[in-house]
Structure 1
Amino acid sequence: MSKTLKHILVIRLSAMGDVAMTVPVLRAFNKQYPGVKLTVLTRPFFAPFFRDLKNVEVFAIDLKDQHKGVLGLFKLSKAIRKLKVDAVADLHNVLRTKILKLFLIGKTVKQLDKGRNEKKALVSGDLFAPLKSTHQRYADVFEALGFKLDLSNPEFSDKKAIPKTILEAVDTQNRKQWIGIAPFAQYASKMYPLEQMKTVIAELQKDYIIFLFGGKADKAQLDTLLVDNKSVINVAGQYGLNQELDLISNLDVMISMDSGNAHLAAMLGVNVVTIWGVTHPYAGFGAFNQPNANNVVPDIEAYPKLPTSIYGNKYPEDYKTVAGTIQPLQIIDRVKAVLKA
């Protein structure tokens, strides 16, 4: 441990899932190095992710105005210097953060190793083996600063109070186990077909309460998955992020694509069953602290080019709907196994 570093600037600006993946790492840091303050530089929308972390403050970056462009980053660097940070942990390592670090010359700086060569080998077919997780890559940045982290015994915050409107919609006196389903992803190649998701929902709603998650623009599509009772509730666009996190913390399991919702649930200690399409958990973006059995993937022997890309934006045309080759029963069985455990 470095005894000279008492205040570290942690940079992770986007995307939602990548920012959420920092939370378990920073929580471990809190526990293992309680005397060191962390200031997280991120977008203001993501501030609620860090609300339960001790000795952690959020510095919201304004990329649309105040901190836009090189001049804006220079202004940002002057504000950061006033915070009197001793070091910088760059968990993003993109052009914008590289420029910012140039303006912070004199500070101890360590940055994320994205493992580009290994990931290139994975999608090219030269390698098919689990790569280092993104969580561990984040932890490695802190180790380079002198703070070795153990992520093997994580702790999570307590469940939050359930939003009042949810209590009104659900019969909590005979509370069934709660399942979240987030069926959308940035790329269609990472999505499970909604028609097949209907089959999953039709079976699970018999015994469990289901909440459908998505953005406000997804509400109409999610409405098509509803059944005529109170067992399936569409919460898309109904709550702010704080309330949505409160609800997610009360789930017994989240069914998600390879997307941000998997990481939101995992950072709260919720079980996550992830459905994969053209991407694959071997790339290191699996949900935190989940057994490999919770990753439901297409048949690799039938689709040997998987994964075709790291982010889901590149694939042969006949692989675009590969997630749909996963049978609904595979997902149902996995979810039920998690809930019984």
Structure 2
Amino acid sequence: MSKKILAFRFSAMGDVAMTVPVLKEVLKQNPDTEIVMVSRPFLKPFFENIPRLTFFGADLNGEHNGFKGLRNLYKSLQAQGPFLAVADIHSVLRTFILDAFFQTSGTKVVRIDKGRKGKKQLTRPKDKVMQPLRPMPERYADVFRKIGLTVELPHQLSPKVSDALNQAELELLGGKNNSWIGIAPFAQHKGKAWGEVKAVALAKLLQEKENAKVIFFGGPGEESKLLDKCVEQVPGSINLAGKIKLKEELDIIEHLDVMVSMDSANMHMASLRGTPTVSVWGATHHYAGFIGYGQDKANIVELSTQELPCRPCSVFGNKPCLREDYACLEEVTPEMVYQRVATVLNK
């Protein structure tokens, strides 16, 4: 009889993406196990074509909103069981409520240890403890280990499947006659966003020195509008922000030679499709455990903590800059990022 595990992770987009390689390893190494993964419906493409994984979309802004909505979600999930255990790999108020429902019905619940103490020591203004914390994928895996499953993570990029792009994607991008470089210059918080001015300068360098096709990535709305202006300044570049579905975005990312990303979801999406990423880090630091799964730390571009001792000042990039000048991002130049991209291209 198979062991069925229920797992929760609702946000953020990059954190949900980081669960994918872990879930794949859990299922690969435990062939008698099934997983029901609960997350936001629009993130379903992350979890497609994974044997013995069932995706369940939770409408947290609609029918599953509030206490009553979570009760309804619990009842719907209960019908997917019985479950050996609940793997709460989010540990927020919503999942605590769901955990309590399942515990009341006798189901074992294991929650993630987020390592808050270490993160506070890493990001406090003075006397920082500058040492690598446990990577988030390992924290996810620890939950399944506590359930009693075998999980060893190789921390390697997924191999590219290299399926051909569909006709619509080809019409959008054209044929691949040179290097394709993705640039995703934005992030959810200001302390992680490089911005459009430096992105344009980098794009011009890549076109001039590498004859590369530059493809901009970002979110819908304001980011898409800003990237449209970038395209006006970089003839021949393409803006995909807000113009394609997530599944198509993942397919195109797989065909990139390199992705340039902030400490943001695009880095983690590139990891899912085996694309090396040059990542720009500002207020945050990879010591907190959020580097893309399998990505090479040599491809991180940042100011050292000797150059800027206030780094890192935040785990998520959401705290105001104490210096008020965001030097951690402003002093990372397009030339610095280009040099790292060129190194990756020439490997």
TM-score by length of 1: 0.93
Confirm or deny: 8 A CA contact 2:4 2:84 kept in the other structure.
Answer: yes
Matches within 5 A, 1:160-309: 160-172=163-175, 175-206=177-208, 207-217=211-221, 218-226=223-231, 231-309=236-314
Residue 104 of structure 1 corresponds to which residue in structure 2? 102
Which residue of 324, 338, 344 maps to 1:332? Answer: 338
- Structure 1 stretches of 5 or more lacking a match? none
Q: Cα gap change, 1:29/1:188 in structure 2, threshold over 3 Å: closer, same or farther? A: same
1:265 Cα deviation (Å)? 0.9
> For 1:295-322, what per-residue CA distance to the aligned partner results, in whole angstroms no more than 9, with x for missing partners?
1112322210110010111131335242
1:317 aligns with 2:323: yes
1:72 Cα deviation (Å)? 1.8
Which residue of 13, 19, 31 maps to 2:16? Answer: 19
- Structure 2 stretches of 5 or more lacking a match? none
Q: Determine the C-alpha separation between the residues in 2 that align with 1:19 and 1:149.
A: 18
> For 1:53-94, what per-residue CA distance to the aligned partner results, in whole angstroms no more than 9, with x for missing partners?
111111111212322222222222222221112211111011
1:135 Cα deviation (Å)? 0.8
Provide the identity percentage.
Answer: 39
Confirm or deny: 8 A CA contact 1:139 1:148 kept in the other structure.
Answer: no
Confirm or deny: 8 A CA contact 1:5 1:86 kept in the other structure.
Answer: no
1:210 Cα deviation (Å)? 1.2
Residue 63 of structure 2 corresponds to which residue in structure 1? 66
Matches within 5 A, 1:10-159: 10-84=7-81, 85-105=83-103, 106-124=106-124, 125-152=127-154, 154=156, 155-156=158-159, 158-159=161-162
1:9 aligns with 2:2: no
Secondary structure at the counterpart of residue 88 of structure 1:
strand
Given residue 316 of structure 2, which amino acid in structure 1 is its aligned partner? Y
Q: Cα gap change, 1:139/1:156 in structure 2, threshold over 3 Å: closer, same or farther? A: farther
Q: Determine the C-alpha separation between the residues in 1 that align with 2:97 and 2:325.
A: 38
The worse-fitting range, judged by mean Cα deviation, of 85-94 and 113-122 is 85-94
1:231 Cα deviation (Å)? 3.8
1:169 Cα deviation (Å)? 4.6
1:243 Cα deviation (Å)? 1.1
Alignment: residue pair count: 337
Confirm or deny: 8 A CA contact 2:288 2:315 kept in the other structure.
Answer: yes
Confirm or deny: 8 A CA contact 2:186 2:195 kept in the other structure.
Answer: no
TM-score by length of 2: 0.92
